[in-house]
Amino acid sequence: MTWNKPLPSLDADIEPFWQALKRHEFTLYHCKTCGAWYFPVAFCRFHKNEPLFGNMEWAKASGRGKVFAWNVHHRAFHPGFASDIPYVYALIEMEEGPMIGSNIIDIEPYKVKIGMPVEVVFEDITEEFTLPKFKPPATVAT
């Protein structure tokens, strides 16, 4: 299958995030000093004025979160999405705290609920890119 949708832009500071996704690992940016989590790259707000300022890394995260906000798209804003509509775009609040925007899959669009638990799944779209998408955990009946 050919990927006919836009690809994510590969900014250098977020490249490790995409490389981890290729390995089917979900990472978030992490302060090694105090354990705070961020997405995307940030300076730790607890250490920005201290010498420890640079003690940050991409670290494996749970991949679990809950739906913070969502909507259903009935129109493709890019021709590549035409066969997917209607699809759900959501903001997911990860267990570690950061928010990430992605699609909720494996559920009928209007059954998505705010606060619903979701977990990451990996969709390999090209040789270069794997997208993080989210679905209800297998243990939750939908």
97 is a site residue for Zn ion (CB under 5 A): no
Per rule CB under 5 A, is residue 44 in the interface with Zn ion? yes
18: part of which helix (H) or strand (E)?
Answer: helix 15-22
- Mask 54-83, x = binds Zn ion (CB under 5 A)? ------------------------------
Site for Zn ion in 16-35 (CB under 5 A): 31, 33-34
* Shortest CB 47 distance to Zn ion, Å: 4
CA torsion angle for 115, 98, 127, 73 (degrees, to 10)? Answer: 40
State how far Cα 1 lies from the chain centre: 23
Tally the C-alpha atoms within 13 A of residue 95's C-alpha that lie toward its C-beta: 11
Which residue spans within 8-125 are E strands per DSSP? 27-31, 37-38, 56-60, 64-73, 87-94, 99-104, 117-124
Q: Which stretch of DSSP H or E encloses residue 22?
A: helix 15-22
Query: Which of 38-46, 70-78, 100-108, 113-121 is the region at the interface with Zn ion (rule: CB under 5 A)?
Result: 38-46
Interface region with Zn ion, contact rule CB under 5 A, candidates 9-17, 39-47, 114-122, 132-140: 39-47
Q: In this chain, which of 47, 58, 112, 131 binds Zn ion, going by CB under 5 A?
A: 47
**Interacting residue ranges for Zn ion, rule: CB under 5 A:** 31, 33-34, 36, 44, 46-47
